[in-house]
Structure 1
Amino acid sequence: GNYYLKDDKLLFQCSITDGDYDKTLISFDPVSCDRQNPLECVEALKQVILGFLITEVNPELNLQETPPRFEAYEYFINAKANIANDQVYLDLLNKAIEADSTYFEAKVDRALYYYNAREFRIADSLIGRIVPNSINSTRQINLLNQNKALLNGNNKKAYTYIQQEYNYAPFHLETNSGAMVVTLQYVNKPEKIDSLFNFIPMEKMNLETCTFCKFRYYIQGLALNELKQYNKTQQLLAPVIEQSEDYYLKIPLIAALVRSGNFAKLDDLLNRIHLTADGATLSAASLFAGKECLLKGDTEKASLYFDKVLANESLEIPTVEMASAYYYKKDFDTAVSILEKLLTDDPENHSLLSKLAVSYAKIGNQEKSDDTLRRLEKSRSDYQYGSVDYAYAQFFAATGNKDKALQHLLLSIANGNSYTPNTYQNDPHFKAYHDNQAFKNILTFWH
């Protein structure tokens, strides 16, 4: 490199060359500092050079046009290592951006943190402030477009952009996991998941330290269930839950056990949850098992699992699980009482409002039911992704108005709702519609 004096500033220029072939590998942007403090320039150059060297280890994963400062990269890598700890993860991302204000990937990940935390307005604001390093940064522009599509509720565009990002880095766990999520839960293509999952071998992965590994297992299990391959789900997840107690990994397994009629193993699993997890987790698992029984058409079995929820709860402390158990048991009088209490603290919870409107209708209080629907309508705002219309669809399905239910389901998915273990084909409210062509069209809306 070289250094120059310009007025009161020192300018340092540096490049890395291959002496054997007289080839310049990279020329770094000049750095400047006060002529009285040349070590500032030396430190700044060191940060840039180290940043380049460390990102060259996996150049295909590097989103930067120019290398990040090494200090910023260290914060970023530590953030990734702490992704399961929300506050630590966010703090380290903020430090990475503070250390290098041009750090594109850290900025995108911070916006995604708020998106996943359902702080959509903040996420949208942050994405809107991110500028690609140059107009030729095709991958950066694609990644921004992907996130804008998610925030706009355009699931098809999000799928198109995540496919392009996946083609850049198919072996990258985070990218692969993101592609699996969008493919299954945003556009409902379970048949595409197996190839994504098998692209990265999992045999040597340490599940205890790999959040994205666990999430890939979760999505693969859900996809296998959608394809009615319940034995494969059990074979996949049985060893996984021996290594991790995370409840969400048990959700596809519970569904597979119910759908395959393996209630002995289901009860063993619930007993294990009872011994190893807290009461709230046991209630959530029992409620989910009961809803799966309703989807199977076994109301008697469902009632047994709803009773497990109620046995684990206290009427003095109302919970969503308790209210839902009474609701699905069709004890609507009790459900009304609990739902009203819950809505005092969470007045715009669309799922609770829908259940309350249904419960009032079922006990013959149409005036209260209509009032609740008006509350639901008034709660409409930005970034809801079809949540209000989905709640309407549940209400109309429960009260026997199929046409309106399907109409609102269509509006819901068109506004960016997602296909989860609890929605659409996995929601007991819509069990009777599974063979309905309009319902099938909703399941393939983004195809």
Structure 2
Amino acid sequence: MNLKDFIKECHEKEVFKNLSIYIVSSWVLIQVFSEIYEPIGLPKISMTYLLLALLISFPFYIYLLWRYRLKPLETRYKNRDGIKVTSKSSDGPEDENGLKKKKVHLPGVRLLSPFQRMYFSALFVISLVVLLSASLIVRANFIEQEDMSAFTFPDEPDNDRIAVLTFQNNTADPNLDVIGNMAVDWIMHGITQNKVGQVISPQIVEDYTNVLKAAVIPSEENGVLKEYLRPSKVVKGTYYLNNGRLLLQCSVMNGNMNRTLVSFEQVECDADSPLDCIENVKQRVLGYLGSRGTKIIGIEEKPPNFNAYKLWLESYDLQQIQSPDQLRTINEAIAADSSFFRPKLDRVAYYYNRDEFAIADSLLQVLAAETGTKREQLNMIQHYEACFKGDNRTAFKTYKEEYNSAPKEIEMNLSMMVLALQFVNMPQAVDTIYAVIPQEDFDLDNCISCEYRDFVQGMANLELGRVAETIEMLKPYANTAGQEWIKEVLMKAYVLEGDHAAVADLMEHIRLLGRIEYWQLMMLKTGLEYMKTGNKAEAMKYLTGVTAFQEQRGRQLSQSERELQAETAFYMEDYDRAGALLEALLPDSDDPLGMKTYLAMAYLKNGEEEKAQNAMLEVSEMRSEYQFGEVDYNLARFHAFKGEEEVALKYLLQAVAAGKRFTSTTFHNDYLFQPLKASPEFRKVLNFWNEG
């Protein structure tokens, strides 16, 4: 088929007519859209999107035209004409001429007509032209476009402008209009005084409306706000009387006034004392506006009183510097707003973090009884309940749900890291959590939480065998004052790296800073780290060094220093001396479980097995609430020291099941358990909470 015949057949089959319908319809759509896209708030780039969609759809339309209109015509044509064939057995022209022509249809075989071949060839060419045109449009409007804001659809205004509209008087008494004016003035004053945002008053809205009307521009209150003033939020309210009582309602809407962000509880007061209602509403409005964008607003049943919120912010800041005044401000925030959930939860955390578990648990039970049905609140209560029960997996799971809602909040991020490492022993999870907040975002000299994050990340690195990476990350802390937790991790990394000079320099720096008791502890820990690597000679340098210092000080040593002295003697295998020191120290010790266990092990080595057994019997009888496996852990240490590995592993499993944490000195980091580390049963202990 030639081109002339193809065009003729297209005319006969109304191909051009159908194509013209698509082209004309597209043209009309483009003309209409060019007039309406701006009034309905779409960006200019919307026209480009539409043009691309119509252009790319054109080849599909041509194919659909064939599929549903032309193909049926072709099929009917074939059925009518059939296919002429001859018999394969015919011997000559006479036989062929004698055969009767008949229609043959071949199942499953498509026979392309000349028109169909020409049609799809034209479709292929058109598709290439469309693709080329579309690529040029994309390149001109997207790839080479410098102003990327052209592609964004308009969002709600993102600014600090807050419009306060006139409160509607539904009392039917115009003399009470003054209440609405008072409410607006009171709220605007609170916003300005507390620097919550920039206020747009009803007077400003009215002035703009009057100017626009004078300019013969259609306008109304909503239009002026959305098109010209563009606040991020709008405060509006209404009030009415009921049996002599004033009822005041208020809500906050988004800047486009098409969605209510929060509707506050109705406030009721004496009609002669409207300021009581107005002050209550103001506090709720300011509490919402001030806390908007922070995690706190998501956990509250309703926005907090603003004074209470300010006190909570103060307590949060005090927590960062570990100020003793934190508890005072928490209690003041609760007193200012008894429905404020967050400070009540913080009070539980305050006592929990100081190991005052009985107080924390009793406060949690009171809080649980007060709490309604809000999922976030119930989740956090369940988290702390799991903590008190030693159910580390549930504690991790429930906090993770909370963490996912605000992963960049530093305290929440740090807590999630601690839970991953110390509660469920998942050092690999710490990496992901740590990376959420870039380290350059912080002033490390004024951020205690940042130090803790580096400590936890450093410990996780060591658990994963990344010693060099740990040194690279923590080396800047080597010569600073403070950051004691980090220096412990750095010491461990230096020991594992075999950098004895760096270890010695670090210990000397700590000694020169004057924290003598901390230096003694670090000397003992350094000796133990070397003993874990099998370098007993290097270990003894640090153990004998701290022992000589302690002997020189004699009676000047404090209780905690004498306990360190006893532990050092124990690990130096001077069991006679260790036993004598421990016997004298035990009555005043703050750690009777640990000290008695050391004493029992000293008795064992001194051949006083009956005394050792009696001491451990006393340890076993020291069980009480909120120990989180401490008794079983000390029993495991004793039996591991005695060489009874199977019994030790049994107690270790009980200890971890009761909530004993994985720290820098427990389980696989405990020198006494080094002989057990290779056993499958010990790995089961380490993976107890992260299995399944």
Q: TM over 0.5: same fold?
A: yes
Q: CA distance change for structure 1 residues 34 and 246 in 2, over 3 Å: closer, same or farther?
A: farther
Aligned 8 A contact 1:64 1:133 in 2: no
Aligned 8 A contact 1:295 1:428 in 2: yes
Deviations 1:216-252 (A, max 9, x none): 1110000001111111111111124556612112111
Q: CA distance change for structure 1 residues 333 and 6 in 2, over 3 Å: closer, same or farther?
A: farther
Q: 1:403 matched to which residue of 2? A: 646
Question: Does structure 1 residue 21 correspond to structure 2 residue 264?
Answer: no
Q: CA distance change for structure 1 residues 42 and 348 in 2, over 3 Å: closer, same or farther?
A: same
What SS class does the counterpart of residue 381 from structure 1 fall into? coil
Aligned 8 A contact 2:305 2:336 in 1: yes
Question: Residues of 1 paired with 2:322 and 2:416: CA distance?
Answer: 22
Question: Does structure 1 residue 69 correspond to structure 2 residue 69?
Answer: no
Aligned 8 A contact 1:348 1:379 in 2: no
Aligned 8 A contact 1:60 1:169 in 2: no
Question: Residues of 2 paired with 1:348 and 1:242: CA distance?
Answer: 32
Structure 2: unaligned runs, 5 residues or longer? 1-236
Q: CA distance change for structure 1 residues 52 and 334 in 2, over 3 Å: closer, same or farther?
A: same
Q: 2:435 matched to which residue of 1? A: 198
What SS class does the counterpart of residue 643 from structure 2 fall into? coil
Alpha-carbon shift at residue 301 of structure 1 (Å): 1.6
Q: 1:382 matched to which residue of 2? A: 625
Q: 1:443 matched to which residue of 2? A: 686
Q: CA distance change for structure 1 residues 38 and 342 in 2, over 3 Å: closer, same or farther?
A: farther
Deviates more, 1:182-191 or 1:361-370: 361-370
Deviations 1:87-115 (A, max 9, x none): 21111111111111111111111111111
Deviations 1:311-365 (A, max 9, x none): 3323423522111111100111111122123211137621111101000111112
What SS class does the counterpart of residue 442 from structure 2 fall into? coil
Q: TM-score, normalised by structure 1?
A: 0.94
Q: 1:393 matched to which residue of 2? A: 636
Alpha-carbon shift at residue 445 of structure 1 (Å): 0.9
Structure 1: unaligned runs, 5 residues or longer? none
- Letter of the 1:372 partner, please give it: A
Q: CA distance change for structure 1 residues 112 and 20 in 2, over 3 Å: closer, same or farther?
A: closer
Q: 1:245 matched to which residue of 2? A: 482
- Letter of the 1:58 partner, please give it: T
What SS class does the counterpart of residue 11 from structure 1 fall into? strand
Alpha-carbon shift at residue 30 of structure 1 (Å): 2.1
Q: Give matches, 1:272-287, under 5 Å.
A: 272-287=509-524
Q: 1:338 matched to which residue of 2? A: 581
- Give the one of 671, 676, 680 matched to 1:433: 676
Q: CA distance change for structure 1 residues 406 and 133 in 2, over 3 Å: closer, same or farther?
A: closer
- Letter of the 2:443 partner, please give it: N
- Letter of the 2:645 partner, please give it: K
Aligned 8 A contact 1:208 1:244 in 2: no
Q: 2:572 matched to which residue of 1? A: 329
Question: Residues of 2 paired with 1:423 and 1:186: CA distance?
Answer: 12
Aligned 8 A contact 2:481 2:513 in 1: no
- Letter of the 1:52 partner, please give it: Y
Question: Does structure 1 residue 11 correspond to structure 2 residue 11?
Answer: no
Alpha-carbon shift at residue 8 of structure 1 (Å): 6.6
Alpha-carbon shift at residue 209 of structure 1 (Å): 2.6
Question: Residues of 1 paired with 2:372 and 2:637: CA distance?
Answer: 47
Deviations 1:68-127 (A, max 9, x none): 111111111111111132521111111111111111111111111111111111111111
- Letter of the 2:617 partner, please give it: R
What SS class does the counterpart of residue 494 from structure 2 fall into? helix
Q: CA distance change for structure 1 residues 306 and 23 in 2, over 3 Å: closer, same or farther?
A: same
Aligned length: 446
Deviates more, 1:235-244 or 1:361-370: 235-244
Alpha-carbon shift at residue 34 of structure 1 (Å): 4.4
- Letter of the 1:344 partner, please give it: P
- Give the one of 533, 536, 545 matched to 1:299: 536
Question: Residues of 1 paired with 2:289 and 2:455: CA distance?
Answer: 35
Question: Residues of 1 paired with 2:244 and 2:516: CA distance?
Answer: 68
Q: CA distance change for structure 1 residues 40 and 275 in 2, over 3 Å: closer, same or farther?
A: farther
- Give the one of 376, 382, 386 matched to 1:145: 382
* Seq. identity, %: 34
What SS class does the counterpart of residue 15 from structure 1 fall into? strand
Q: 2:657 matched to which residue of 1? A: 414
- Letter of the 1:160 partner, please give it: K
Q: Give matches, 1:22-421, under 5 Å.
A: 23-58=259-294, 62-83=298-319, 84-131=321-368, 134-135=372-373, 137-241=374-478, 245-313=482-550, 314-316=553-555, 317=557, 318=559, 319-346=562-589, 349-421=592-664
Deviates more, 1:252-261 or 1:21-30: 21-30
Question: Residues of 1 paired with 2:620 and 2:659: CA distance?
Answer: 18
What SS class does the counterpart of residue 586 from structure 2 fall into? helix
What SS class does the counterpart of residue 625 from structure 2 fall into? coil
Question: Residues of 1 paired with 2:322 and 2:361: CA distance?
Answer: 22
The alignment yields a C-alpha RMSD, in angstroms, of: 2.0
Aligned 8 A contact 1:102 1:133 in 2: no
What SS class does the counterpart of residue 78 from structure 1 fall into? helix
- Letter of the 1:331 partner, please give it: D
